[in-house]
Amino acid sequence: MSAHPLEQTSVVREIERAASAHLAGRWVSSGFTDLDDRASHPCGIFHGEPFSVFVKLDTAAEGEEQFTAELQGLDLLRRRASVATPRPVAEGVLRLGAGSLLLLEALPEVPAEARSADQWRSIGRALAAAHQVHDERFGLERFDGFFGPLRQDNRPVTSNRWADFYAERRLIPLLRSAVDSGRLPAEPAADVERLVERLPSLCGPEPQPSLLHGDAQQNNFLTTTTGPVLLDTAPYFGHPEIDLALVDYFAPVPRDLFDGYQDLVSIDEGFRQRRELWRLFGYLAVIAVDGASAFGRPFLGRVADTVALYR
């Protein structure tokens, strides 16, 4: 078997150099754990003392930009919402010949399948803590982000209405990406366009812009013995129901998560009827990136079902 790309001697040397600068002393890797099965990028943990380093590799041209945006998002949530996020090692981003590396302090985790009811509940409370941070406008002036590998335009819209922001900055760009990928046929694309025209009547009460995780599916929360940690964020100020719709986007979560959320913030009774509307942009993203695979093909049906639900 070929070695993991992160285990190349030159790559390990640069990781050790960055970790030593972070420690202000000599740091040496004592081993590596491959975590590729849990991420869309090659990644893993380099073990060492007194800390280990989580490293993610992106070989794409925009990898450095994507990782920089990820660090900005983690910092924003940590500062504004006082929630836990991983800390960067040294500068956090390294540019190498093999691509760009994201370096974060690795955290000992409780596996999702071993989480207690209280730990699931704490994830809901962390999400609610972020949603209690508000702004006057939907979007984020300071920086754009990435939803997976796709660019996320965070610019506010002129009207500052949620339906317009969701249409112009989320649904329409991702619909275009899905069509351009060749994986979304013309008829369902036209159906989505018609749904977009009707958004103002579908979005429910106008929300106050809340600080979102942005990609809040459950794998993007890590549980430690001291509490939840938010990962892989793509933040902006938006409708809090977006995050609530994504937590069980790929797999069910216990009711405890939603109960924990409601310890701090109530959930509108209409959320259940709007949940698929908020997932639609994610369905389009999967089609654009992975629509030809066994994983991605079923999302064509999810798009069709969502459009039918809101006719």
User: 295 — alpha (psi -120 to 50), left (phi > 0) or beta?
Assistant: alpha
Active site residue: 58, 215, 243, 256, which one?
215
User: What distance in Å separates the CA atoms of residue 61 and residue 66, rounded to the nearest whole number?
Assistant: 10
Cα–Cα dist 302/311, whole Å: 14
Annotated catalytic residue 215: yes
Cβ–Cβ < 8 Å for 39, 55: no
**Secondary structure of residue 297 in the 3-state scheme:** coil
Cβ neighbours of residue 150 closer than 8 Å, sequence gap 6 or more: 174, 177, 285, 288, 289
CB 230 within 8 A of CB 74: yes
Residues 6+ apart with CB under 8 A from 194: 307
∠ CA(156), CA(277), CA(310), 5° rounding? 125
Tokens of 222: 């890590």
Question: Looking at the chain, which runs of residues are DSSP E strands?
Answer: 31-34, 43-47, 53-58, 88-96, 99-105, 145-147, 150-152, 210-211, 221-224, 227-230, 237-238
Residues assigned a catalytic role: 215
